[in-house]
Amino acid sequence: MVSISGSKKLKRQMAPQFWGITRKDKRFVITVRPGPHKKNYSIPTAVFLRDTLKIVTSLREAKTAIYSGKVKIDGVVRKSLHHAIGLMDIVELENVPDVYRLVPTEGKLLKPIKINASEKTKKLVRVVSKTTINNGKTQIGFHDGRSTISDTKVNVGDTCVIQIPEQKILEVIKLESGCQCLVTRGINAGQVGKIETVEEGTFILPKRAILSLGDRKIEIPADIIMAIGKEEPIIQLK
């Protein structure tokens, strides 16, 4: 049989802190496989159930739940222990009434929050690529690895509200002055501010924005913020 690339395990001491795992335990822990999110910005499904949510007590129980199809991510059943769960992903569990969305909060890169069931079919995705393909059609790539072919007018950096799992674009939130933005990484992760200006990138500096966070202003790279609404967040983030 052909082996799948990438290691299945990670030294526990090297795991990101937002996983919520104990440090002085077994030497290795399950890690994520290549997929929708980068390794340092996601949580493997088994660790999410056992250590983040703590709804199972062992890896064996996590395997039973995942292999029996009781875990849905963005409306799709995932049967891999190593599937990467990341920013803005929606997690549903069979026979559990709570629905979770992963967002940055309190300086943590990712944290599950409970959301209303009415929001489980909506997801915010940031546009990271835009390519013209055959017949002049436009292919749009999003931060979670998915892509779609659409005539919707968007730019790299904008945020789309999509319906999952169909991937239908419902609304576009432009990255522009006056919109509300969520900081997704760094020391200010989880904070929401208002964009004052957007500075175009140069040969040396990346595209960046002047963001107003309460009584202070910061200059921040545009690739670590996500537009979430005009006057207020369009979805639940707390």
What 3-state class would DSSP assign to 192? strand
In a domain, 1, yes or no: no
Structure tokens at 119: 């929001």
Mean pLDDT across 83-90: 94
Mean pLDDT across 76-93: 94
Asked if residue 108 and residue 194 are part of one domain, the reply reads: no
In the block, residue with structure tokens 């209303």: 116
- In CATH, what number is assigned to the domain containing residue 95? 3.10.290.10
Domain end (from 134, 151, 173):
173
Residue 203: per-residue pLDDT: 83
Residues in contact with 1: Cβ distance below 8 Å, sequence separation at least 6, in sequence order = none
In a domain, 234, yes or no: no
Asked if residue 194 and residue 107 are part of one domain, the reply reads: no
Q: What span, in angstroms and rounded, lies between the C-alpha atoms of 109 and 20? A: 12
Q: Are 206 and 150 in contact (CB under 8 A)?
A: no
In a domain, 2, yes or no: no
How does pLDDT run across 150-207, given as a tens digit for each residue? Answer: 888 999 999 999 999 998 999 999 999 999 999 999 888 999 999 999 988 888 888 8
Residue 201: per-residue pLDDT: 81
In a domain, 164, yes or no: yes
Domain end (from 117, 133, 148):
117
Range of the domain at 72: 9-117
In a domain, 238, yes or no: no
- In CATH, what number is assigned to the domain containing residue 164? 2.40.50.740
Q: Flag the least confident range among 4-8, 79-83, 148-152.
A: 4-8
Q: For residue 5, is pLDDT > 70?
A: no
Mean model confidence pLDDT for the chain: 89
Domain end (from 150, 173, 196):
173
Asked if residue 93 and residue 135 are part of one domain, the reply reads: no
DSSP 203: S
DSSP 62: H
Residue 236: per-residue pLDDT: 85
- Number of domains comprising the chain: 3
Residues in contact with 62: Cβ distance below 8 Å, sequence separation at least 6, in sequence order = 45, 46, 49, 50, 56, 81
Asked if residue 78 and residue 24 are part of one domain, the reply reads: yes
In a domain, 83, yes or no: yes
Asked if residue 45 and residue 99 are part of one domain, the reply reads: yes
Residue 108: per-residue pLDDT: 83
Asked if residue 30 and residue 95 are part of one domain, the reply reads: yes
In a domain, 237, yes or no: no
Q: For residue 22, is pLDDT > 70?
A: yes
Residue 79: per-residue pLDDT: 93
